[in-house]
Amino acid sequence: MDWCCHGPFCVFDVETTGMSPARDRIVELAALRVECDGRRSRFHSLVNPGRPIPRSVSRIHHIDDAMVADAPDFAGIGGEFLRFIDGATLVAHNARFDLGFLQESLNRCGLPLWQGRTLDTVRLMRTVYPGLPSYRLQTLREIFQLDAPDSEFQEAHRAAADVDWTLQLLKLALTAAAGRVSPQS
């Protein structure tokens, strides 16, 4: 049985102006949908947060005010994103963070909140591969020697690249949970 037969899965990631879903805003939203038959489709958009992006945050994800100046606001893409993820299980690395921003943004725009299933690859990896030194995405990238992302944005802390690495972790975790692979040391 192939790991994706449990789907469809929609792996998503956000980049933001800060750490608080109530005070901060999304500046980038990316997702990769994997159907049960393995077909894939992508969603990606920069998002105008309607406020300046702090320089300290821009240094992390390399998204600045000029890059989002002509981007749609979340209200302009929220409905499209809900249609993209409809019927799938949402997957994120540290899902509480990404889902918190998604739900707050949907609520702020008067769009329906996400009511579907959500998987957190941090929790999955801790369960399937206990005792690793860290479960940060970049650390797991190194430990499991994850492939370079398929997206045009191949740097860490860009939503599209982080989505690709999170999908690889999901595949590793589900395959290992099925007993196909023994944990790497």
Supply the residues annotated as catalytic: 157
Distance CA 12, CA 53 (A): 21
Q: List, as one string, the DSSP characters of 10-48.
A: EEEEEEESSS-TTT--EEEEEEEEE-TTS-EEEEEEE--
Q: What is the side-by-side order of every strand in the sheet holding 118-120?
A: 40-46, 26-34, 9-16, 89-92, 118-120
Distance CA 116, CA 118 (A): 7
What is the three-class DSSP state of 118?
A: strand
- Please provide residue 178's backbone torsions phi and psi, each rounded to the nearest 5 degrees: -80, -5
Cβ–Cβ under 8 Å, residues 35 and 166:
no
Which residues, 6+ apart, have CB-to-CB distance to 80 below 8 Å? 43
